């Protein structure tokens, strides 16, 4: 056991595909778990061949989407629709602590790997199932990708502007949020097993993960009946001074929500007169005159670039940030200092974990992403009956 890699004694069987499932097991591996990726005997995980802009890598079965959460694992190719392949899979499960899978229930039942069967045969096993809609109901076997869940949970409808119409977020946030949700659930199940000695079944819903990401909007609607409206880059707080503002060059995102924030903004912009102006001195007045205040903030910010304003505003205590592209974000000193991006031995740089435990400097995958079935013989020998 390690205070920085607490899962170093765990064996995780990764019977997943695409993004959410593989990401979950990848995170567990970064925390020390030994992860064996079980792939079909055909082409393996479908995401190997699609995703990202490197078409050559995708054709070779090593797409950037696969590489994102493939490192640190070993891969075995099994034909689970055969007696021999299924027997090998059960040999893995007999020694495993956790099974992570993201197949619809009817697929798991067809393979005789449903939760009831596995619980009876491997009572120690923590079985984490990730699906679009969760168990139960008419949609439990409905296939779903990130974009489908963004549509069905209300996130797309609340994103964009009235002119743009609904817009999907610029990244598959539901896939990775579901992976983190599953990791949280697995951690709780492992803790429970320390006292009960028994495994359990975990039912993770992408739809409910999406609703969780909208929690404050959910509560507001249930209490008031007001559905969230598309507000573009305006903050959900609805505070004047909270939103995106163009500068001489670039854009600043301001989060001026508290009285202290507004005072800091006025001082930083050399507009202390706002603090005694009846239109802006109090929060209610600022709300009534939000359009005027926004115009004045924009006029002040237009005197400098966002690159110049960011250190001024941040040092003054104004919650603020310059709008950056992904390349700019990755080049920032803060991201580099934290070691969020790590490079595997084959020279591929990948994102890791957004937290550190027990003073860990960074989390790096233990090995590059495996080829399809790369470790089949090795694993078969290690887990032979």
The 3-state DSSP class for residue 94 equals helix
Residues 6+ positions from 262 with CB-CB distance below 8 Å: 241, 256, 274, 275, 280, 286
pLDDT for residue 213 is more than 90: yes
For residue 237, is pLDDT > 80? no
| Residue 314 CB burial class (10 angstroms; 0-12, 13-18, ≥19) | middle
Model confidence at 385: pLDDT above 70: no
Answer whether residue 219 shows pLDDT above 90.
yes
d(CA 100, CA 16): 7
Question: Average pLDDT, stretch 228-247?
Answer: 87
Residues 242-246+251-322, CATH architecture: 2-Layer Sandwich (3.30)
Q: How confident is the model at residue 119, as a pLDDT? A: 98
Reported confidence tier of residue 238, pLDDT bands at 50, 70, 90: confident
Region 342-356 average pLDDT:
97
All residues at 6 or more sequence positions from 70 whose CB lies less than 8 Å from its CB, including other chains: 22, 26, 37, 369, 370
* Whether the Cβ atoms of residue 78 and residue 88 lie closer than 8 Å to each other: yes
Strand partners, 34: 11
Cα–Cα dist 213/217, whole Å: 9
Residue 44 has pLDDT above 90, yes or no: yes
Task: Look up the CATH architecture of domain 11-213+340-382.
Answer: 3-Layer(aba) Sandwich (3.40)
27 has a pLDDT exceeding 90: yes
Identify the pLDDT of residue 167.
96
Q: What is the pLDDT, as a whole number, of residue 241?
A: 87
Q: Flag whether pLDDT at 233 surpasses 90.
A: no
Distance CA 333, CA 12 (A): 34
Q: How far is CA 363 from CA 29, 72, 151, 178, 342, in A?
A: 10, 11, 33, 20, 8
Q: What are phi and psi of 54, to 5 degrees?
A: -95, 90
Residue 303, phi-psi category: left (phi > 0), alpha (psi -120 to 50), beta (remainder): alpha
- Domain ranges in the chain are 11-213+340-382, 242-246+251-322
Cβ within 8 Å of residue 279, ≥6 positions away = 285, 286, 288, 289, 292, 293
């Amino acid at each position: 056991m390690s205070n920085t890699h607490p899962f170093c004694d765990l064996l995780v069987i990764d019977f997943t595909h695409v993004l959410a499932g593989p990401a979950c097991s990848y995170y567990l591996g970064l925390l020390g778990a030994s992860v064996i990726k079980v792939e079909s005997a055909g082409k393996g995980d479908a995401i190997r061949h699609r995703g990202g802009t490197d078409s050559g890598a995708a054709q070779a079965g090593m797409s950037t989407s696969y590489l994102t959460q493939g490192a640190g694992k070993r891969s075995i190719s099994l034909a689970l629709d055969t007696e021999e392949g299924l027997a090998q899979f059960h040999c893995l499960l007999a020694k495993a602590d956790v099974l992570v899978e993201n197949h619809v229930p009817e697929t798991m039942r067809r393979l005789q790997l449903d939760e009831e069967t596995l619980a009876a045969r491997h009572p120690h096993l923590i079985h984490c199932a990730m699906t679009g809609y969760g168990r139960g109901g008419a949609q439990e076997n409905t296939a779903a990708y990130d974009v489908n869940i963004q549509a069905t949970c209300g996130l797309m409808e609340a994103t964009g502007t009235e002119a743009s119409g609904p817009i999907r977020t610029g990244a598959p946030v539901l896939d990775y949020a579901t992976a983190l949700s599953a990791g949280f659930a697995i951690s709780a199940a492992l803790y429970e097993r320390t006292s009960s000695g028994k495994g359990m079944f975990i039912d993770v819903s992408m739809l409910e993960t999406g609703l969780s990401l909208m929690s404050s909007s959910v509560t507001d609607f249930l209490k008031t009946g007001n559905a969230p409206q598309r507000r573009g880059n305006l903050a959900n707080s609805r505070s004047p001074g909270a939103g995106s503002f163009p500068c001489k060059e670039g854009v600043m995102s301001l989060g001026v929500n508290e009285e202290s924030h507004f005072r800091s903004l006025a001082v930083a912009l050399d507009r202390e007169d706002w603090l005694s102006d009846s239109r802006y001195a109090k929060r209610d007045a600022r709300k009534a005159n939000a359009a005027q205040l926004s115009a004045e903030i924009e006029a002040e910010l237009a005197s400098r670039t966002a690159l110049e304003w960011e250190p001024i505003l941040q040092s003054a205590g104004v919650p603020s940030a310059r709008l950056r592209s992904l390349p700019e974000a990755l080049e920032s000193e803060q991201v580099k200092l934290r070691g969020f991006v790590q490079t595997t031995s084959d020279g591929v740089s990948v994102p890791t974990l957004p937290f550190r435990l027990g003073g860990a400097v960074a989390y790096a995958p233990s090995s590059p992403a495996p080829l399809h079935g790369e470790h089949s013989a090795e694993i078969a020998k290690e887990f032979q009956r």
